[in-house]
Amino acid sequence: MGTVILGVNSAYHESSACILKDGVILGAVEEERFNRIKHAKCSRVDNADELPDRALAWALKSAGLKPNQVDHIAFSFDPDERLKANKDLHEKGVPTGDFGTPEGEETFHRHLHKAAAELKRRFPKAEFHFLRHHLCHAGSTFFPSRHEKAAVLAIDGIGEFNTTWLGIGEGNRLTPILEIPYPNSLGFVWEKISEHLGFDVYSGPGKVMGYACISDPIGEDTGVDYAERFRRVIRLTDSGFTVDNEVMRFRTRDFSGLEPLFGPRRPAIVDRYEEASIAAGLQTVTEEVFVHLARLLHKKTGLDALCMAGGVTLNCVANARILRETPFKYLHVMPAANDGGTAVGAAAYLWCHVLGNKSRPRLDHTYLGPEYTEAEIETALDTAGLKGVKSDDLPRQVARMVYDGKVVAWFQGRLEFGPRALGNRSILADPCRFDIRSRLNNKVKERESFRPFAPSVLLSDASRHLQIPSDLDGAEYMLLAVPVNEPRDAQRIPAVVQENGSTRVATSRPHVVRPEVNPIYARLLEEMKSLSGLGMVLNTSFNISEPIVCSPADAINCYKRSKMDALAIGPFLVSR
Ligand SMILES: [Fe+2]
């Protein structure tokens, strides 16, 4: 029996669990997929001990392990470090008892220790380790990457106190170079501006990124240059960047510092170019920070490869600018760049850096979550009163439907780990139809009309319309926005390209599919190719305003209340 490490994240949100055995990732899943609450829980001072119960239970069961077989628990947060750095800040306007106040930080500290006590109780033979949050983000991207030595950049809202970590990974070691402290937080800027524009704090940043694409930073009504306004608040420095917290007022509900720059706080999302220009201004300055940090890191390391993680690195447009404008030749982004990924990072960091093992965990795909047997799927269909027809060639049948303009839900194999559906819990449509985009946004996904869609494309066809970099890493996980080859390519695949407001360059964030990684999905793309001449589908996550579906029952519920045409689940096809 080898060494079993259980990686756990529960400090803020995106609670998750990962099981690592002898340096091999056996499974990883976010609690939101089970409890059906987006991000699993809100970030509060008093709920760090709300553990990812079902994720933990699944991780253990799927690996065929009993609680007393866990040797180590790797927890992706350090409460003592947190308390020391935050309890004496005395920030203006922060409500007593909240993050950043002595009372709030004492409460947070207590609940983190409660989480540890409960984990020790459940796994009595395991040695418990609190690990610093950014080392876990850094560990989640570098150790599973293919690089023996790489620069590493972690950017999020906040860890214990730092918001950005720059360092170097070599073999089984991570070494810090520079850390940027709160309140200089790019993640928090995105959260606060999301709220200012009427989005919610958790799902907002992703939507604001899509919103930014439809305009440029110059306000249509006012002529204001919002990038310039953001540059007054976010400044590049020799040691990274600073954020003016007199304006942002993080940790308060006060938006008045933002009003002179960006107008009054919007009570709800306003679908106007003026607001989109504010988003575009933030996007522009975020890209400038990314490029600046990457150049800084390159200057200090002289390395070719950069590995990134942390919620802000889900920004596929900013990631692409690093590849385009800095000396780095290779860019690897952890597909679960959010806090969910720190469960993997904590386990990997413990295995490699703390325990000193030379072998590193691999991450060749994100299919690390639950899967279901044919019998389980059949039972779920029966229970729901749905008739599934067993198909002898499902990829072919589904490709035909998609080619004919149908929208088909696709449920196969193991659930993806991370926020992107990559062909196991996906909704598929024809990327060549212009009208499919508004149909999907308005009628199927019930979401804002400006939200973009991305394609899954066979590796062999990826470069036909898109400028795919030779290093595929980011392009395999929808983490890199790449331009079309020529303007007319945008007309060939109109449903999966965005015309970027500021540059008017059409881009797409592809999921490049290698047949050895997902054979049945690659087969479907081959069938698309035989029909349309192009091995590509539009791929959007299988959910409607909820976490991505996990079980057959989730899939069936989502399908039933949707306007999708069909559901391909395991070997079965259900049509309306
Ligand atoms: Fe984080």
How confident is the model over 189-243, as pLDDT tens digits? 999 999 999 998 888 898 899 888 888 999 988 999 999 999 999 999 999 999 9
pLDDT, residue 472, reads: 74
- CA 254–ligand 1 middle distance (angstroms): 24
- CA 289–ligand 1 middle distance (angstroms): 18
- CA 87–ligand 1 middle distance (angstroms): 20
- CA 479–ligand 1 middle distance (angstroms): 17
CATH pick for 186-333 out of 3.40.50.720, 3.30.70.360, 3.20.20.140, 3.30.420.40: 3.30.420.40
SS percent in the chain: helix, strand, coil, step 5: 40, 20, 40
Min mean pLDDT across 91-100, 151-160, 229-238, 492-501 is at 492-501
* Mean pLDDT of the region 474-491: 92
- CA 258–ligand 1 middle distance (angstroms): 25
Other Cβ atoms closer than 10 A to 387: 11
- CA 183–ligand 1 middle distance (angstroms): 15
- CA 160–ligand 1 middle distance (angstroms): 9
- CA 155–ligand 1 middle distance (angstroms): 7
pLDDT, residue 425, reads: 98
461: left (phi over 0), alpha (psi -120 to 50) or beta: alpha
Q: What is the C-alpha to C-alpha distance for residues 164 and 184, in angstroms, rounded to an integer?
A: 9
- CA 373–ligand 1 middle distance (angstroms): 34
pLDDT, residue 131, reads: 98
- CA 386–ligand 1 middle distance (angstroms): 41
Q: What pLDDT digit, counting tens, does each position of 30-83 carry?
A: 999 999 999 999 999 999 999 999 999 999 999 999 999 999 999 999 999 999
- CA 21–ligand 1 middle distance (angstroms): 24
- Judge whether residue 500 has pLDDT over 80: no
- Judge whether residue 556 has pLDDT over 90: yes
Q: What is the DSSP letter of 218?
A: B
- CA 14–ligand 1 middle distance (angstroms): 9
pLDDT, residue 273, reads: 85
Parallel, antiparallel, or unpaired for β 127-130 and 240-243? unpaired
Question: What confidence category does residue 1 fall into, taking pLDDT thresholds of 50, 70 and 90?
Answer: confident
CATH class of this structure's domain 4-139+337-354: alpha beta
pLDDT, residue 398, reads: 98
- CA 290–ligand 1 middle distance (angstroms): 17
The answer to whether the CB of 251 falls within 8 A of the CB of 91 is yes
Phi, psi at residue 296, to the nearest 5°? Answer: -60, -45
Q: What is the C-alpha to C-alpha distance for residues 529 and 349, in angstroms, rounded to an integer?
A: 42
- CA 137–ligand 1 middle distance (angstroms): 7
- CA 202–ligand 1 middle distance (angstroms): 13
pLDDT, residue 76, reads: 98
- Judge whether residue 129 has pLDDT over 70: yes
- CA 23–ligand 1 middle distance (angstroms): 23
Question: What confidence category does residue 503 fall into, taking pLDDT thresholds of 50, 70 and 90?
Answer: low
pLDDT, residue 221, reads: 87
- CA 364–ligand 1 middle distance (angstroms): 22
Question: What confidence category does residue 90 fall into, taking pLDDT thresholds of 50, 70 and 90?
Answer: confident
Q: Which amino acid is at 513?
A: V
Question: What confidence category does residue 184 fall into, taking pLDDT thresholds of 50, 70 and 90?
Answer: very high
- Tokens, residue 236: 């590049």
- CA 567–ligand 1 middle distance (angstroms): 35
Boundaries of every domain in the chain: 4-139+337-354, 186-333, 374-575
Please return the burial class of 148, using the count of CB atoms within 10 Å of its CB with bins 0-12, 13-18 and 19+: exposed
* DSSP secondary structure letters along 48-79: TT---HHHHHHHHHHTT--GGG--EEEES--H
Averaged pLDDT of the chain? 95
* Mean pLDDT of the region 439-465: 91
The answer to whether the CB of 150 falls within 8 A of the CB of 305 is yes
pTM: 0.97
The answer to whether the CB of 138 falls within 8 A of the CB of 165 is yes
The answer to whether the CB of 456 falls within 8 A of the CB of 426 is yes
CATH class of this structure's domain 374-575: alpha beta
Question: Are 186-333 and 374-575 the same fold in CATH?
Answer: no
pLDDT, residue 499, reads: 79
What count of residues does the chain have? 576
- CA 491–ligand 1 middle distance (angstroms): 38
- CA 338–ligand 1 middle distance (angstroms): 6
- CA 385–ligand 1 middle distance (angstroms): 42
- CA 311–ligand 1 middle distance (angstroms): 6
- CA 138–ligand 1 middle distance (angstroms): 10
pLDDT, residue 270, reads: 80
Question: What confidence category does residue 19 fall into, taking pLDDT thresholds of 50, 70 and 90?
Answer: very high
- CA 571–ligand 1 middle distance (angstroms): 38
Tell me which range, 83-97, 295-309, 498-512, is most confidently predicted by mean pLDDT: 295-309
- Tokens, residue 64: 């065929």
- Judge whether residue 504 has pLDDT over 80: no
- CA 156–ligand 1 middle distance (angstroms): 5
- CA 42–ligand 1 middle distance (angstroms): 14
pLDDT, residue 502, reads: 58
- CA 405–ligand 1 middle distance (angstroms): 40
- CA 530–ligand 1 middle distance (angstroms): 43
Q: Where are the beta strands (DSSP E) in 349-491?
A: 389-390, 408-411, 425-429, 454-458, 482-483
- CA 13–ligand 1 middle distance (angstroms): 9
pLDDT, residue 387, reads: 93
